[in-house]
Homo-oligomer: A and B are copies of this chain.
Amino acid sequence: MAPEPLTIYRADCPSRPILDQLISKWSMLVLQVLDEPKRFNTIKRQLDGITQRVLTETLRKLERSGMVTRRVLETSPIGVEYALTPMGQSLKMVFSSLYDWTVTNMSDIETTQQAYDLQR
């Protein structure tokens, strides 16, 4: 007999809320863009389709979790610069593999999805 299948991934593991907060399309893309410190609107311009609202929220979450730092620049119209922390850098590397995987496989996935949708 096979051994009893036991619970492996516990509901109260601290990784659960972290996965919920950090693992998202926009978190991924923001980190990808932050190869060097960049200002709010620079990031926004490079991430086609993101709104200010969503970018602000995403940056707050990343800041709260220690992935990016937020620094106010005393420039003429005041500026805010976001930069990766070391922990943010390490997450960016992991996200990079995921992004690369997605780009590598996206046409296969699209084809598979269309076939699935055809047969109901």
Q: Give the shortest distance, in Å, between A63 (CB) and chain B (any CB).
A: 7
Contact present for B46 and A9 (CB under 8 Å): yes
Main secondary structure of the interface of A (DSSP, over half): helix
Within 8 Å of chain B (Cβ to Cβ): is A48? yes
Range, interface on chain A? 35 or more
Nearest residue (CB) in B for A117 is B64
Nearest residue (CB) in B for A24 is B23
Within 8 Å of chain B (Cβ to Cβ): is A73? no
**Chain B residues near A101 (CB, 8 Å)?**
90-91, 94
In the assembled complex, the Cα of A95 lies from the Cα of B48 at a distance in Å of 25
Contact present for B66 and A112 (CB under 8 Å): yes
Q: Give the shortest distance, in Å, between A7 (CB) and chain B (any CB).
A: 5
Within 8 Å of chain B (Cβ to Cβ): is A72? no
Q: Give the shortest distance, in Å, between A41 (CB) and chain B (any CB).
A: 9
12 contacts between A and B (CB under 8 A): A5-B42, A10-B48, A10-B49, A16-B25, A18-B102, A18-B106, A18-B109, A23-B25, A65-B113, A66-B112, A87-B109, A95-B98
